[in-house]
Amino acid sequence: MSRTVLICDDAMFMRMLIGRTLTAAGFTVVGEATTGAEAVQKYKELKPDLVTMDVVMPELGGIDAVRQISSFDHDACVIVCSAMGQAKQVTQALDAGATGFLVKPFNADQLVAAVEEALGRRAARGAR
């Protein structure tokens, strides 16, 4: 059974890049969101296995969106992707409930490895 992904990024080229990469790796992209608020709404609706979440997005930032998703689904698997990989931001994302953090720019191998690692961590916790 294919694992499902929700891609959340306000940049269309990033959504396309992530989508193509994960589809080629055997994942099914079930939705996309361009704002943090839309990401939370689509997560509730689609219940994906994994979310990729940009940090800087309109309406609601990615870290706040992760916090909201984690508040109603403690088993959510979210990888925060950001061009700003400062230690403070990584800590904030993980404290908000993110499963992993990936610094942009990244290549296809790095993305797939981060996704597999995050899903493995969630499985080790006994989720779903």
- Within-domain flag for 127: no
Which CATH number characterizes residue 45's domain? Answer: 3.40.50.2300
- Within-domain flag for 128: no
Residues 30/48, Cβ–Cβ less than 8 Å: yes
The pLDDT tens digits of the residues spanning 21-80 come to 999 999 999 999 999 999 999 999 999 999 999 998 999 999 999 999 999 999 999 999
Count of domains forming the chain: 1
**H/E element holding 51?**
strand 50-54
- Within-domain flag for 105: yes
Q: How far apart are CA 84 and CA 91, in angstroms?
A: 12
- Within-domain flag for 42: yes
- Within-domain flag for 14: yes
Reported pTM: 0.93
The pLDDT tens digits of the residues spanning 79-119 come to 999 887 677 888 899 999 999 999 888 999 999 999 999 99
The dihedral sign for the CA sequence 57, 127, 118, 100? positive
- Within-domain flag for 53: yes
What domain range includes position 92? 4-121
